[in-house]
Amino acid sequence: MSSRAAKKVLEFIFTLFAASSAVFFLSRLAPSDPVEILLGENATFVDREALRKELKLDLTLTAQYASFLAGLLELDFGESLVTKRKVSTEILEALPHTLALGFSALLLSILAGLFSGAASAYFEGRPPDRVFGLASSVMMVSPSFLTGPVFLLFFAVSLPIFPVSGDGTALSFVLPALVLSIPASAYLGRVLRVSICEEKRKAYVLLAREKGAGDSRAFAAHMVPNALIPFVQVAGLEFGALLTGAIITEKVFRIPGLGSLLARSVFSRDYTLITALIIVFSFIYLLGNLLADLLSPLVDPRLRDA
């Protein structure tokens, strides 16, 4: 492992630790009493103390933090306050659905971003560039709570091509992945367009053209490969954003993923599950950043020996 990769891994571990600790202390600094919220004002003293002990709120803050870190290292987040099941079990049951949705949306985003960004940069300043620019502007501000029901109504109800809700089949992920990928693909396309347009004006491209390389060859062989460096980095960031931003999409399409689980835990005031899910979402987002940093040397050889 290179020194650069080792540094990025250490940064990942430290940031995850800091984020998890922030979640713990912020939950303890909240002015409201979780026991009173869960049981209500009419609960007996015995019931209050039993729940306080179950949540380990009877311990000192230092002891609570030590117990929290020990459970985190063992991936033991305790039991759900509502279902009384292991939180880790509920997360592991929902995780595959969110990963399938996230990877599908990322793949669509990358393919659409590569096509739109490259085409827009190739026709820079001409009508196709303006069309792609207008389309990306609309797509970037298209929220999933709006596009989701529209796609669902048209492609699942009016034209029953796809299932109305997530039934676990591959076909049931097409519509939600498409909806989730719309803003991301527009953003990736813009990143690639800007990067390619910057490469166009560099000296090595002008030298290649002077040596007889045509526009198409210079574009495909020189400009696009070098422009992929920021594209890969942003795609890694988008991976984490897609997974953590799938809450609304999962609710619209009834996919039993982490987003639906988080929404359910918020409505039921399941603080144990909420805390664990926030940490899991932080881990996913940071992991996307780490993968982007580790994959960058594959498209930029200058980083391999760093």
pLDDT in tens, 118-154: 889 888 888 988 998 899 888 888 888 888 888 888 8
Please name each of the domains of the chain with its CATH number: 98-268 (1.10.3720.10)
Give the percent of the chain with pLDDT over 70: 89
- The confidence score (pLDDT) of residue 290 equals 86
Q: How confident is the model at residue 303 (pLDDT cuts 50, 70, 90)?
A: low
CB 199 within 8 A of CB 160: no
Confidence of residue 284 (pLDDT cuts 50, 70, 90): confident
Q: Is residue 218 predicted with pLDDT exceeding 80? A: no
**What pLDDT sits at residue 166?**
62
pLDDT in tens, 226-276: 788 888 888 888 887 787 777 888 888 888 888 889 888 888 878 888 889
For residues 83-100, give the mean pLDDT.
Answer: 89
Residue 52 has what pLDDT? 78
Model pLDDT, residue 1: 59
CA atoms within 13 A on the CB side of 205: 20
3-state helix, strand, coil in the chain (%, to 5): 80, 0, 20
Rounded to the nearest integer, the mean pLDDT of the chain is 82
Computed on alpha carbons and rounded to an integer, the radius of gyration of the chain in Å comes to 24
pLDDT of residue 246: 79
The structure tokens listed for 299 are 């498209």
pLDDT grade, residue 14 (50/70/90)?
A: very high
What pLDDT score was predicted for residue 92?
92
Determine which of 23-27, 29-33, 186-190 has the lowest per-residue pLDDT on average.
Answer: 29-33
Task: Write down the pLDDT at residue 48.
Answer: 79
Residue 90 has pLDDT above 80, yes or no: yes
Q: How confident is the model at residue 83 (pLDDT cuts 50, 70, 90)?
A: confident
Alpha helices in the chain (DSSP H): 3-29, 34-39, 45-54, 61-73, 87-122, 127-140, 144-152, 174-200, 203-210, 215-218, 224-244, 247-252, 258-267, 271-299
**d(C-alpha 291, C-alpha 103), whole Å:** 14
User: 45 is written with which tokens?
Assistant: 């003293």
